[in-house]
Structure 1
Amino acid sequence: MFRTALRNVLAHKARLMMTVLAVMLGVSFVSGTLVFTDTIGSALRKASARSYSDVAVAVTYGDVDHPLPQRLVDEIGRLPGAESTTATVSGFTAIADKEGRLVGDGWSTRGGNYTGTGRYPMLEGRAPHGSSEVALDSRTAERTGYTVGDTLRMSIDGPVMRQKVTGVFSTDDGNVAAGGSLVLFETATAQKLFGKPGSYEEIDVKAAPGTAQATLKAGIEKLLPRYAKDASATTGQNLADEEARRIASDLSSFNTALLSFAGIALFVGIFIIANTFTMLVAQRTKELALLRAVGASRRQVTRSVLVEALVVGVVAGATGFLLGIGIAAVMRAVLASAGALLPDGALAVQPGTAGAALAVGVGVTVLAAWLPARRAAKIPPVAAMSSVHAPATVKGLLLRNTLGALLSAAGAVLVVAGSGMKDNGNMVLGGGAGLLLIGVFVLTPLLSRPVVAAAAPLLRPFGVTGNLARQNSVRNPRRTAATASALMIGLTLITALTVVAISVKTTVDELAAAHLKADYQITMATGQNLSPEVAEKVAGADGVSDSSAVRDAHTELDGEDEWVTGVDAPQIGRLLALDFSHGSLAAVHGESMVVDSDTAERRGWHAGQSLPVRYDDGTKGRLTIGGVFEGGDLINGVIMDNATVTPHTPKAGDMRILVKTAGGASEAHQDSLVKALGENPVIKIQDKAAISRELSSTIDLMLNILYGLLAMAVLVAVLGVINTLAMSVFERKHEIGMLRAIGLDRAAVKRMIRLESLVISFFGAVLGLGLGVFLAWAVGGLIRPDLPSYAMVLPWDRIGVFLAIAALVGVLAALWPARRAARLNVLEAIKAE
């Protein structure tokens, strides 16, 4: 039986090719994802290990207001077993390249103090001295073209600084290895810039030869209560281990996201595999029945079909693994060319990845072939007298339809229930969506007839060929259903994601237009807070009529921690338009504040209520709620007057600055703001249109990435349509031969197969679009608590594109089967059984 199975694989290799391709694509995505994340993780871990190679113990402060004093550094340096100490202070430091563009992605652009050639070996020039000099890491110098003696523009929290480059150094810093930048100042300058004069945020201690890290750590911990009670000491080994865990955790979500799309492609592939083996079993009814008649047991027949699936799985898994290595290399190159910050290092191909690829390939193929294998074993020997096996019984179809209806109803109920839940709603909705998809798949044979019948008017102009195509597409409802379901799943996900994304974008656009009366919004490109100095420069810029810093500050309000938003009370009414249920923005002054309705409900507050407040500097007072408004993404929470909160919050940072200009937004006004802020590359000046464009570009980028990932599932679905049509043509050789004999020409045969493919694709598209819109509506229920004005918007233009893509899938999938059908020899086809 084993030899028989191998001969069958070789005999039907052309028909199994699409199955191999479907599994291979899914496996390649899995192995490519694993190789890509292993490569990035390995490079980051190596860089991290190098960073901690000379660190026996690291001391860090636990309270930002109480950094590590110089006296502690000196005491640690005198401890037995401490060979040397390196004290550091660092913070965000953005630099501009020679064209004025921000270098790196912002978050990994760092600055710190120069601690000597031990950690930062100088490749060119010398160490920085004085407040106007810096040293630059060699990677950043290479990609920006800066050399010793150049002047670069940089920013810590908004104001532009111009510094002279006195040296270029090398470093093993993980952020730099990942594409970030590092700028070093002399220690005193760094301490002043990063808000820690005379103090540090970390002390790295190198152990003398023969001193254990634990011993040195114990000695350091005895000193900490005297100098920095909130500080903690950690061994270098623990730091390296923690960094490795952090890297693994950071890559885990990315890995899971990519693998989920690979899983979707493999899930779609299951339909193709099951369809293929079902058709092969049906075509070999006589052969399998004869095997039973000459003594083969049911178990042997089942094993024979599963061995065929095993061979297909091994071939698909092995080729998918090799293709995955190439995909990982391409992913890395594409992301790097798109500006993503990726560390250097060779591709990391782990033995486990190869094992996973083979396991996935074999597992998916054998699992999908199991039901056809069981069906093959049930063929009675008497069936050898007939070339066609018995069709599905009425009882079998009734059971299938009942099961499908129950699963679909349960899934729909869970989706609706999850949509309205506040806690764990996404999990309930996700589970319901899975049940719904499975239920609809089970029901697709029943649904195929009415949906295909609805397409009859579109086929009528094609005459006989259109009528034949419609009848052929419903001749075997199970096969049509399995083929269309593959396309349905891909379009369901694509439609749901598109509707949700477009709805969010439209809603936020409308909010920005409705709530923002200001002409411009000024923010840091990296999301950091702006220095108060920026607001002062903006207020003095030409053409500015009103401006307000939107400032965050910490307080203890009514006995609980509460971050409040400070605004410049005299101007804010001319910059914002908020919907108030009680009061207005005029209530923001002195000891009066306004709160959004969600905060008021959560804290049990109401308009007119007086609340105790304790500011960060310890000052106490009382605040009165002067109004309640509907919050949004632009502004929410507690709003106070900057004149009230800022004197008690010396480290308050500006989240944004709202600006109104005389005569409205114009290119001249924007140029005036740019010049007033020193042409700073890290500061964004956006009008309402720019805010909308940024939101649109972010959502469109996300959608395009998701489209690219889901394209794998659609491609697998195309292979499924090709496979089904090709095997259907093989089954209908006799019928096609008869049609040719009575006058149907080759062009009409091709048209018939193409129309059949279009009908199957149309069926899958209708189901996918309907389910996608339903799931998008349900997801809207989860979004609405965070975005109260969310309303579902149907992007009819994109839905039309999706229908056109489905039609294109049908046309392309039919090319080879239609050509094959048209080239059949009429006499040989008539003689075929």
Structure 2
Amino acid sequence: MLRTALRNVFAHKARLLMTMLAVLLGVAFVSGTLVFTSTISQAQHKSSEKGFEKVDVSIRQDNSDAPEGRDTVDPLQQTTLDRAAALPGAESATGEVNGFAALADKDGKLVGNGFSTQGANYYAGRDGKSSDPRYPMKDGRAPRAAGEVALDSKTAERTGYKVGDTVRMSIDGPVREEKVTGVYTTDDGSVAAGGSLVLFDNATAQKLFAKPGQYTEISVTAKSGVSQAALKEQAEKILPPHSEAVTGKKLADEQSRQIESSMSGMQTSMLAFAGIALFVGIFIIANTFTMLVAQRTKELALLRAVGASRRQVTRSVLIEALFVGAVAGVAGLAAGIGIGAGLRSLIGKMGTMPDGPLVISPAAVISSLVVGVVVTVLAAWLPARRAAKIPPVAAMGSVHAPASTRSLVLRNTLGSLFSAAGVALVLMGTKVDDGKAPMGAGAALLLIGVFVLTPLLSRPLIAAASPVLRLFQVSGKLARLNAVRNPRRTAATASALMIGLTLITGLTVIATGVQKAVDKMATDSLKADYTISMANYSPLSPDVDKKLRASDEVTATSPLRNGPATIGGSTEYLTGVNGESIGKLTSLDFTEGGWSGLSGGKKVVVDTTTAEQQGWKLGSSFQVSYEDGAKGRLTVGGLYKGNEMLKGILVDNSALTPHLAKTADMQVLAKTKNGANDQVKDALTKQLGDNPAILVEDKKDVSEGVAQMINMLLNVLYGLLAMAVIVAVLGVINTLAMSVFERGQEIGMLRAIGLERRSVKRMVRLESLVISLFGGVLGIGLGVFLGWAAGELIAGSGLETYQLTLPWGRIGIFLALAALVGVLAALWPARRAAKLNMLAAIKTE
């Protein structure tokens, strides 16, 4: 039986090639994902370890012990640094302070990747004459006074800046011009990932990112022979309140865990799409083995007649599957390593990851082989069971017995139950508060149910295409009859395409609805012509608002400021606005009251959700304790429906600003004389110093920014889901090719009675087109339903402006894609059918 199984594999090489390709693609995606993520993870891990080589103990703030009403504790003081340097086991101690610093290139564009554009201090010792071991100078010298900076070598290389050049940059809004005095090398992970790190002298950095004499962290290097644990024990004796001492090893381990955590999301997503491709591949594999078994009915029945047991027949089919899976697994692993290397090279050229070798982990090798073998064997198990049930008497017949009425009734009953349960769970998910779990389970059950019901659905849906197929006369009629002749085969072929299009359509429907919701929110809640914010959405300097108000073009502005406060024993955030102008800049939906009285600093306006949580009504008053400990009493002067643009407790800046530790704006709203247009935008940009760190955006820019992010995400998802569609195409080709082989006598007879080669080709192409469109219609229908359900969940979770919006243009493209799949998949099988020798085909075996 083993020899028989292997002989069958080699006897049907062409038929099994498509199956091997389907498994290979899925396995390649799995192994490529594991190789790529392992490579990035290890490269960043090595980079982080290298970055902590000179740190034995770090003294840092412990924000978990922050006083009530505050998110952070006070920075570390110079006295702590001096005491750390004087520890018996300390070789040296370095104070660190850092923050956002936007650097412009020679074209005025922002350097780095937004959040990775950082600034830090060059600590030259207490006397200012030492060198900072963290940043060895490659060229020039370290910054020593205000107006001087040093650039990392990678940023200098990318921008072309050299020692002596003047650079433009910004910390919190206003433009600064600094002279480059040096270029240094660093192992900093953010720089290795494509960011920038600008160094200031110690005093300037403290003034920009903290306060004079303050640090965010202190790094201590141990003397020779002193362990990290011993030095940590010494450092714990000098710790100020709300701080902790951590060893360099622990810091490296923490960063490694953070890297693994950040990589896990991407790895999970990519593996999910690999799983989808493999899931689609299961249909192809099962289809292929079912057809192979049906075509070998006489052969298997003869084996049963000469004494082979059912178990031996089952085992022979599974051995074929094992061989195919093993070969496909090995080939998929090789292809996956190539994919991982290609992705690493691409990311490396973009400068967004540190250098490191390609990592082929044992997990990637084992997973690839296991996935390839297990998926193939599982998919072949049902056909193997069917093969074992072939009675020996079938060796005398010519056609394998069709599925029994009982099996069809059972299948349709199970499909209906699964579908009904799936729809019920999806609908339940739209009604409950946290409906992700029931909706996910419902979507899975619905897909399984529809797949099981697909043979039943194929007849009426394909029959609906009859009027169009009649236009093609005999070829069209034969194509329709062939498509419904074996509903199970048609269903398995169409289902592969259905799953891919369900996911693509559902994601597109959700993304379109979110985009429209953001557009509506921006239009409905804002009267302001422009919003001004930092490129990384960090706080803005109050000088930005002052410069805008100084412009003749601007008629009204309101900075939005956040400040913590204690209300009723819990911490809440107050949002400061300009009480006099905020009504001209926003269009909130007030249920009671309004902006009146806000500018006096005694009243607030509150969104209805917060008011309900606090038990407030119009006219309610409450006591508030501000960040500096001062107390006051505020009265609710208006209740409004909150949204993602504005929500919470809004108070006049005159009441909030005096109590803030540091005055900073999250964004500024501005209204202009001539509305939003390119000339006004250019004028405002110029008024703010052509600053690359500041975003001046109108409603259209906000909407386009969201649309760009959504489209970028969709394009990535489309690219990943394309794997499933490619596998589906292979399935259609496989089914048609084997169907043509199975119907060889029939096609030969049609040719013998006068059907032209052209008509035979047309028949096969139309059959492929009908099957593909059948899968496409099912996929798009399911995608729209699941997209609607997910949208209801999104609307219930806070995005109240969300409404179902069907992207008819893209849906049309998806349907055309399904048709294209059918046309392309039929090219080779149609040509093969037309070339059949009619006499050889109709002769008796």
Interval of TM-score (by shorter of Structure 1 and Structure 2):
over 0.9
Map of 1:246 onto structure 2? 258
The alignment status of 1:212 with 2:222, answered yes or no, reads no
Map of 2:475 onto structure 1? 465
Tell me the alpha carbon deviations over residues 203-222 of structure 1, each in whole angstroms, 9 at most, x when there is no partner. 11111122121111111101
1:9 aligned partner, one-letter code: V
| Superposition deviation, residue 321 in structure 1 | 1.1
Which residue of 622, 629, 637 corresponds with 1:618? Answer: 629
The alignment status of 1:742 with 2:742, answered yes or no, reads no
1:593-672 to structure 2, matched below 5 A, reads: 593-672=604-683
2:501 aligned partner, one-letter code: L
- Contact 2:674–2:680 (CA<8 Å) still a contact in 1? no
Quote the Cα distance in structure 2 between the aligned partners of 1:713 and 1:321. Answer: 18
What is the TM-score of this pair, normalised by structure 1? 0.98
Which residue of 269, 286, 290 corresponds with 1:278? Answer: 290
Which residue of 77, 86, 96 corresponds with 2:104? Answer: 96
| Superposition deviation, residue 699 in structure 1 | 1.1
Map of 1:821 onto structure 2? 833
Map of 1:555 onto structure 2? 565
Map of 1:139 onto structure 2? 154
| Superposition deviation, residue 705 in structure 1 | 1.0
Quote the Cα distance in structure 1 between the aligned partners of 2:602 and 2:331. Answer: 71
Map of 2:126 onto structure 1? none
| Superposition deviation, residue 340 in structure 1 | 7.1
Tell me the alpha carbon deviations over residues 207-256 of structure 1, each in whole angstroms, 9 at most, x when there is no partner. 112212111111110111xxx11110011111111111111111001100
| Superposition deviation, residue 333 in structure 1 | 4.3
Quote the Cα distance in structure 1 between the aligned partners of 2:842 and 2:147. Answer: 91
2:466 aligned partner, one-letter code: A
Quote the Cα distance in structure 2 between the aligned partners of 1:145 and 1:329. Answer: 30
- Contact 2:192–2:351 (CA<8 Å) still a contact in 1? no
Map of 2:5 onto structure 1? 5
| Superposition deviation, residue 596 in structure 1 | 1.1
The alignment status of 1:327 with 2:339, answered yes or no, reads yes
| Superposition deviation, residue 454 in structure 1 | 0.9
Map of 2:686 onto structure 1? 675
Which residue of 803, 809, 812 corresponds with 1:791? Answer: 803
Which residue of 492, 503, 514 corresponds with 2:524? Answer: 514
The alignment status of 1:812 with 2:824, answered yes or no, reads yes
1:104 aligned partner, one-letter code: G
The alignment status of 1:722 with 2:733, answered yes or no, reads yes
The alignment partner of 1:654 has SS state of coil
- Contact 1:594–1:628 (CA<8 Å) still a contact in 2? yes
The alignment status of 1:302 with 2:319, answered yes or no, reads no
Which shifted more, 654-663 or 254-263? Answer: 654-663
1:568-587 to structure 2, matched below 5 A, reads: 568-587=578-597
- Contact 2:156–2:162 (CA<8 Å) still a contact in 1? yes
Map of 1:751 onto structure 2? 762
The alignment status of 1:348 with 2:359, answered yes or no, reads yes
Tell me the alpha carbon deviations over residues 697-738 of structure 1, each in whole angstroms, 9 at most, x when there is no partner. 111111111111111111110100000000000000000001
Q: 1:35 to 1:85 in 2, by over 3 A?
A: same
The alignment partner of 1:185 has SS state of strand
- Contact 1:750–1:818 (CA<8 Å) still a contact in 2? yes
Tell me the alpha carbon deviations over residues 350-406 of structure 1, each in whole angstroms, 9 at most, x when there is no partner. 222111111111111111011111111111111111121111000000001101111
The alignment status of 1:82 with 2:97, answered yes or no, reads no
Quote the Cα distance in structure 2 between the aligned partners of 1:802 and 1:137. Answer: 48
- Contact 2:520–2:801 (CA<8 Å) still a contact in 1? no
Map of 1:373 onto structure 2? 384
| Superposition deviation, residue 443 in structure 1 | 0.5
What is the TM-score of this pair, normalised by structure 2? 0.97
Tell me the alpha carbon deviations over residues 26-60 of structure 1, each in whole angstroms, 9 at most, x when there is no partner. 11111111111111101100000101112111110
Which residue of 139, 163, 175 corresponds with 1:124? Answer: 139
- Contact 1:553–1:653 (CA<8 Å) still a contact in 2? no
| Superposition deviation, residue 299 in structure 1 | 1.3
| Superposition deviation, residue 667 in structure 1 | 2.5
1:145 aligned partner, one-letter code: G
Map of 1:36 onto structure 2? 36
Tell me the alpha carbon deviations over residues 527-578 of structure 1, each in whole angstroms, 9 at most, x when there is no partner. 2111111111111123111111111111112332111211111111111111
| Superposition deviation, residue 336 in structure 1 | 5.6
- Contact 1:490–1:768 (CA<8 Å) still a contact in 2? yes
The alignment status of 1:778 with 2:789, answered yes or no, reads yes
Map of 2:774 onto structure 1? 763
Quote the Cα distance in structure 1 between the aligned partners of 2:419 and 2:343. Answer: 38
Quote the Cα distance in structure 2 between the aligned partners of 1:284 and 1:18. Answer: 19
The alignment status of 1:73 with 2:81, answered yes or no, reads yes
The alignment status of 1:110 with 2:118, answered yes or no, reads yes
The alignment partner of 1:636 has SS state of coil
Quote the Cα distance in structure 1 between the aligned partners of 2:565 and 2:672. Answer: 33
1:100 aligned partner, one-letter code: G
The alignment partner of 1:573 has SS state of helix
Quote the Cα distance in structure 1 between the aligned partners of 2:314 and 2:440. Answer: 35
| Superposition deviation, residue 334 in structure 1 | 4.4
Which shifted more, 641-650 or 445-454? Answer: 641-650
Quote the Cα distance in structure 1 between the aligned partners of 2:80 and 2:696. Answer: 44
The alignment status of 1:162 with 2:177, answered yes or no, reads yes
Quote the Cα distance in structure 2 between the aligned partners of 1:14 and 1:752. Answer: 22
Which residue of 388, 410, 430 corresponds with 1:399? Answer: 410
Map of 1:200 onto structure 2? 215
Which shifted more, 287-296 or 465-474? Answer: 287-296
Which residue of 203, 207, 211 corresponds with 1:188? Answer: 203
Map of 1:539 onto structure 2? 549
The alignment status of 1:58 with 2:58, answered yes or no, reads yes
Map of 2:514 onto structure 1? 504
Tell me the alpha carbon deviations over residues 575-627 of structure 1, each in whole angstroms, 9 at most, x when there is no partner. 11111110122342321111112222222222111111111011111111111
- Contact 1:104–1:341 (CA<8 Å) still a contact in 2? no
Q: 1:734 to 1:169 in 2, by over 3 A?
A: same
The alignment partner of 1:644 has SS state of helix
Q: CA RMSD in A?
A: 1.3
Map of 1:802 onto structure 2? 814
Which shifted more, 435-444 or 107-116? Answer: 107-116
Which shifted more, 580-589 or 283-292? Answer: 580-589
- Contact 2:455–2:488 (CA<8 Å) still a contact in 1? yes
Q: Size of the alignment, in residue pairs? A: 828
Quote the Cα distance in structure 2 between the aligned partners of 1:231 and 1:42. Answer: 31
The alignment status of 1:288 with 2:289, answered yes or no, reads no
2:643 aligned partner, one-letter code: G
Q: 1:412 to 1:331 in 2, by over 3 A?
A: same
